[in-house]
């Protein structure tokens, strides 16, 4: 069913950019929601990063954390309290239902985080209340947040948390309007806060048609323009994001001039882009990791011998060579080679079908069994071709008697179903949003203090030793000591086989030669402010 959102703001006045033009971008999937707190999906974050701002952000094209809605921050001597000084003069967007009467201030920060922190908050359960990043990274660590004055807020942690500032740069922790929430509550429509977005960013939603297009227009009062920061200023008349799950289609549209930026073309199409008269190939080193996970709600996958058998039955090197088109790295480590903390000594599981058959027989499956194998339906740096990877695994497993049925869905539905634990063998992965090794392991393979898996832990693996190591690494600031703990965590991960690491690679983007100022993010999400079309 098609959904059309944001039509109530079609008549909003656009800014008058320096280089007036429309920017067209071919993206790989539909946004699943229009509130950043409810998602960690990179496709959704790409759209929402144009609309919302966080307190801090990763500087475009680098790994440096820079101020955003917070102008500065200070850390207490015990490393438990972070005090943020907020930016003055920041305007909120508006729509047909809401016109702000005040500028951004501490009340908006309090609303944003208290919604996620307090179970009895009026907005805690609106639209499901699944705050993925917060629940995974901060829920257990954050003791309190307090308003010091209208432009000062303090976050107090239960214990030191080394990656805290990096976590705060995550797009899922962008700030939402407390006044908008209050207005929607009075109107009896609180659910619209996650569907018709109001942000402080350089662009605002004009219209959305699911699986077809997202249209954005400049926000003329954005704070980036007010402080004359070109990188945060909308420089085009509007943005059209055409949605296509097929990487070849996205590239064809770029070749034909229908899209000026095509995200995630097939890695194998590099030469075609390089030979194009109207496109540039932009290659970006992205820290990412893709994997298949075993569902621990399924009795057979609770037996480590079964998991080991399936791991040893995959001939991983030719899979990586083919799927990542020579740009991938064969490894068994959950932290990728591009990040500090990577353990080069944790290699891929050896390809040993005879051992795999022996392990299956010992586990009570001498003739194998049938299972589902999910395939990521979109091209991502951690998995450029999920269907092809699944077919290779399917063929390898057939040699030891495993009959794997390949399953896939539209991207939004895929994510929803996977997070509900429906995948017997799921294919998933992630891109690092900030330069700290904790992000992907914590997102996809940890459980909270009550033993509940993080939302993206689709296999529901809860390992006390792994959790303890990840928690320990987050509470100290000595990087050398953290590296040693992360190595032990990677060894535990590899020994217990909750997943098989498939790889990750640099990302490539096709960018029209008349587009200037586009810098794909190394960490976090790429911004379209500052981009011009000549």
166 and 115 inside one domain = yes
Q: CB atoms < 10 A from the CB of 158, how many?
A: 12
Q: Is the pLDDT of residue 8 over 90?
A: no
190 and 210 inside one domain = yes
220 and 309 inside one domain = no
220 and 346 inside one domain = no
In a domain, 269, yes or no: no
Mean pLDDT of 42-63: 92
Q: What is the pLDDT of residue 5?
A: 42
* C-alpha–C-alpha distance, residues 497 and 492, integer Å: 9
Q: What is the mean pLDDT of the chain?
A: 92
Q: What is the pLDDT of residue 259?
A: 96
Angle (CA) 416 418 423, round 5°: 145
Report the candidate in 495, 223, 216, 221 with the shortest Cα–Cα distance to residue 334. Answer: 495
In a domain, 454, yes or no: yes
Q: CB atoms < 10 A from the CB of 279, how many?
A: 25
In a domain, 394, yes or no: yes
Beta-carbon contacts of 228 under 8 Å, excluding residues fewer than 6 positions away, are none
* C-alpha–C-alpha distance, residues 113 and 135, integer Å: 11
End-to-end CA distance of the chain: 37
Cα 32 off chain centre by: 12
491 and 523 inside one domain = no
In a domain, 275, yes or no: no
Q: What percent of the chain has pLDDT over 90?
A: 81
Q: Is the pLDDT of residue 89 over 70?
A: yes
Q: How many domains does the chain have?
A: 2
Q: Is the pLDDT of residue 7 over 80?
A: no
In a domain, 421, yes or no: yes
In sign, the C-alpha dihedral spanning 481, 485, 488, 493 is negative
In a domain, 170, yes or no: yes
- What element of type H or E holds 180? helix 178-186
pLDDT tens readout for residues 207-231: 999 999 999 999 999 999 999 999 9
388 and 358 inside one domain = yes
Q: Is the pLDDT of residue 3 over 60?
A: no
226 and 169 inside one domain = yes
223 and 149 inside one domain = yes
170 and 316 inside one domain = no
Q: What is the CATH number of the domain that holds 301?
A: 3.10.105.10
Mean pLDDT of 113-134: 93
Q: What is the CATH number of the domain that holds 151?
A: 3.90.76.10
Are 347 and 330 in contact, with CB atoms under 8 Å apart?
yes
- The burial class, CB within 10 Å (0-12 / 13-18 / 19+), for 277 is exposed
pLDDT category at 9 given cuts 50, 70, 90 is: very low
Q: Model pTM?
A: 0.80
In a domain, 279, yes or no: no
Mean pLDDT of 266-276: 93
Mean pLDDT of 322-327: 90
Range of 321's domain?
A: 288-503
- The burial class, CB within 10 Å (0-12 / 13-18 / 19+), for 370 is exposed
Are 507 and 264 in contact, with CB atoms under 8 Å apart?
yes
């Amino acid at each position: 069913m098609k959904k059309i959102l944001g039509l109530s703001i079609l008549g909003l006045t656009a800014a008058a950019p320096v280089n007036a033009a429309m920017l067209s971008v071919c993206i790989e999937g539909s946004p699943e929601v229009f509130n950043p707190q409810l998602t960690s999906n990179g496709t959704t974050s790409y759209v929402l990063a144009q609309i919302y701002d966080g307190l801090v952000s990763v500087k475009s094209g680098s790994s440096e954390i820079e101020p955003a809605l917070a102008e500065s921050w200070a850390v207490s001597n015990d490393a438990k309290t972070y005090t943020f000084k907020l930016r003055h003069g920041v305007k909120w967007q508006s729509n047909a239902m809401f016109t702000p009467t005040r500028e951004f201030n501490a009340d908006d920060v309090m609303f944003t985080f208290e919604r996620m922190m307090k179970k009895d908050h009026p907005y805690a359960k609106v639209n499901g209340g699944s705050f993925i990043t917060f629940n995974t990274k901060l829920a257990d660590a954050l003791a309190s947040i307090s308003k010091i004055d209208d432009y000062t807020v303090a976050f107090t942690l239960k214990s030191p948390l080394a990656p805290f500032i990096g976590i705060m740069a995550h797009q899922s922790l962008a700030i939402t309007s407390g006044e908008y929430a209050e207005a929607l509550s009075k109107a009896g429509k609180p659910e619209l806060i996650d569907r018709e977005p109001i942000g402080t960013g350089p662009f605002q939603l004009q219209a959305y048609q699911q699986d077809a297009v997202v249209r954005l227009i400049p926000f003329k009062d954005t704070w980036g323009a007010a402080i004359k920061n070109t990188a945060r200023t909308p420089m085009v008349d509007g943005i059209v994001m055409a949605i296509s799950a097929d990487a070849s289609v996205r590239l064809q549209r770029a070749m034909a001039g229908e899209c000026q930026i095509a995200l995630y073309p097939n890695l194998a199409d590099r030469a075609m882009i390089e030979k194009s008269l109207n496109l540039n190939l932009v290659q970006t080193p992205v820290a990412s990791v893709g994997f298949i996970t075993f569902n621990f709600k399924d009795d057979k996958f609770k037996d480590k011998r079964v998991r080991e058998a399936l791991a040893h039955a995959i001939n991983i090197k030719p899979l990586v060579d083919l799927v990542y088109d020579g740009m991938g790295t064969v490894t068994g480590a959950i932290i990728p080679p591009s990040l500090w903390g990577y353990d080069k000594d944790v290699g891929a599981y050896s390809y040993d079908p005879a051992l795999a058959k022996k392990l299956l027989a010992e586990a009570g499956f001498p003739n194998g069994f049938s299972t589902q194998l999910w395939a990521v339906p979109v091209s991502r740096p951690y998995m450029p071709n999920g269907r092809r990877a699944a077919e290779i695994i399917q063929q390898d497993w057939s040699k030891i008697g495993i009959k794997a049925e390949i399953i896939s869905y539209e991207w939004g539905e895929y994510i929803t179903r996977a997070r509900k634990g429906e995948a017997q063998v799921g294919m998933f992965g992630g891109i690092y949003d900030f330069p700290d090794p904790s992000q992907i392991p914590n997102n996809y393979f940890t459980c909270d203090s009550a033993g509940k898996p993080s939302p993206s832990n689709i296999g529901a693996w809860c390992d006390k030793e792994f959790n303890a190591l990840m928690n320990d690494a987050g509470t100290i600031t000595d990087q050398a000591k953290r590296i040693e703990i992360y190595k032990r965590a990677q060894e535990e991960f590899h020994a217990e086989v909750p997943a098989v690491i498939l790889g990750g690679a640099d990302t490539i983007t096709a960018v029209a030669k008349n587009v200037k100022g586009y810098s794909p993010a190394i960490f976090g999400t790429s911004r379209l402010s500052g981009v011009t079309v000549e």
